[in-house]
Amino acid sequence: MENRYSDLGDGTFINPVLYTDYSDPDVIRVGEDYYMVASSFCNTPGLPILRSKDLVNWKMVGYGLENIPYDRYKKPAHGCGVWAPSIRYYDGEFVIFFPMPDEGIFVTKAKKPEGPWSEPVAIYEGKGYIDPCPFIDDDGKAYMVNAYAKSRIGFKSVLAITELSRDLTAMIGETVKVFDGNENDQQTIEGPKLYKRNGWYYIFAPAGGVKQGWQTVLRSKNIYGPYEYRIVMEQKDTDVNGPHQGAWVDTPDGRDFFLHFQDVYAAGRIVHVQPLKWINDWPVIGTAKEGETCGKPVSRMDKPVCVNTGIFAPDAGDDFDLDTIGLQWQWNANHESDWAKPSAVESCIYLKSVPAEKSISDQPNLFLQKWPMPEFTVKTKLDLSGIKEGDEAGIVNMGVSYGALSVLLKNGRCDLRAISGEQTFSNEKATANDLVTEIDEDIFPEGMAKEIYFKYSVTRVTSDEINAEGKYKFPVPKEIVTLSYGFDGLNYKPALTFNAKAGRWVGVKCGLYIRNVDGAEGGNLRCEYFLFE
């Protein structure tokens, strides 16, 4: 599995540490453990939480949010929902701040990262506030730094600080603008994280745009400024475009590192770890020559923490040998508890049919996983004996370009068909129309077992396309998705091929679904495995 694991087993690792879409990562250290939280947008459960001992090998431990507040998220709201969060640990309690650009800023707390997490509390209700990060000063006063979304509030590139109540559940001070990137060369500055070191307040924040930007750091002796700034990492002669927002963490022995994401188009926003050193109370991230104040990303280096925990990555695939749903799975919108029923005894999972939406991209019960590497194949075995009239069940690809290969039970016959389409966005709302192609009619003659195998393949091909925006140029990767079917688990026939395109701010996901095109109460889909190769 190419690029599945970052740890090389010899005390070194290669970036990225996660070739998986963990967008807008924030990381903290608690004792000898590191915890990461990431954006989840309209997918649920939301706010994925990962744990590591060495910043290289990561495992999912839970989610901070079961479903998203507000009824609108019962249907997919692509690009909306839970944006860039931050995680902190205060007074024996984990705290996550997360923004919803149409609804406000929310806080949830837990004694353990696995949960249970408290019901989210809105400390700001309204549009446009994004990327919040809490901070408690030496005198016990609490603050929040945030950015703004132009699409909701009419402006961007501004960072602000507001005093909070000590329990972090209310804004008690006036919001003060502390930096305006529109007034200099730091347009699109966002994703701020607030820290303090040696009497200096630091705001780490990317600027210049997700794919073509850089890392900026602000500092001041007063929390409200004025702040001076410096670019501390950019792409330079590497292939790591944009190096975008992330977090500064230290090790138990006092060394410093920075985690950030890189946008690689269809595969989403993958996570890198960089060394960080302090020179004259300014951070330099990545590797830099003597006298340079701005570093560049590193591709291979020693592990930040030498601890033998094994080589691993977040789970991908599933053989359904547990009575609980694996943490690798998310839904396309808010979900109901009875949509999936795993059975360890049968080593399978049952997915419940729900009424069909106009477009498969708007189907809330798509059962999805992130891409775990640049190229791969997934194979799955489906038992259709539990489907009912009007049910359509199969394998699905979810991105701006989407596709599915499925079996439809209609008028007593099982017909195989391919579904494809592409979302368009206007005023932050997605619309799409499905194109349906009939593949084969009546694929299960009377008396045959209703079992079918599907294969989902991702192949990266050479592309001459170059993104020439901004200061640096970088190649645009191109991935081809192919959906195939078979009846013996060995031989497959390709049925649908298309170019993968990332979702709205998220990477492409793959998975399973069942829906009833007649809007009736349908049956269920039984899946025996969903395995990556």
CA distance 7 to 15: 9
CA distance 477 to 491: 29
What would the two tokens of residue 22 be? 């963990």
CA distance 340 to 350: 6
Residue type, 469: E
- The question of whether 66 is a catalytic residue gets the answer no
203: buried, middle or exposed (CB in 10 Å: 19+, 13-18, 0-12)? buried
What would the two tokens of residue 72 be? 């609108």
- The question of whether 32 is a catalytic residue gets the answer no
Question: Please, what sign has the CA dihedral across residues 202, 208, 210, 211?
Answer: negative
DSSP codes, 310-359: ----S--SB---SSS--TT-EESSS--TTSEEEETTTTEEEEE-EEPPSS
CB 264 within 8 A of CB 27: no
CA distance 372 to 48: 15
67: buried, middle or exposed (CB in 10 Å: 19+, 13-18, 0-12)? middle
CA distance 514 to 517: 10
Q: Name the maximum alpha-carbon separation found in the chain.
A: 79
Catalytic residue (one of 7, 21, 24, 362):
24
Instruction: Report the 10 Å Cβ neighbour count for 100.
Output: 24
List phi, psi (to 5°) of 63: -130, 145
What would the two tokens of residue 481 be? 């998705």
Catalytic residue (one of 7, 54, 190, 415):
190
Kindly compute the dihedral angle of the four CA atoms of residues 231, 237, 241, 247, in this order, to the nearest 10 degrees: -40
Active site residues: 24, 190
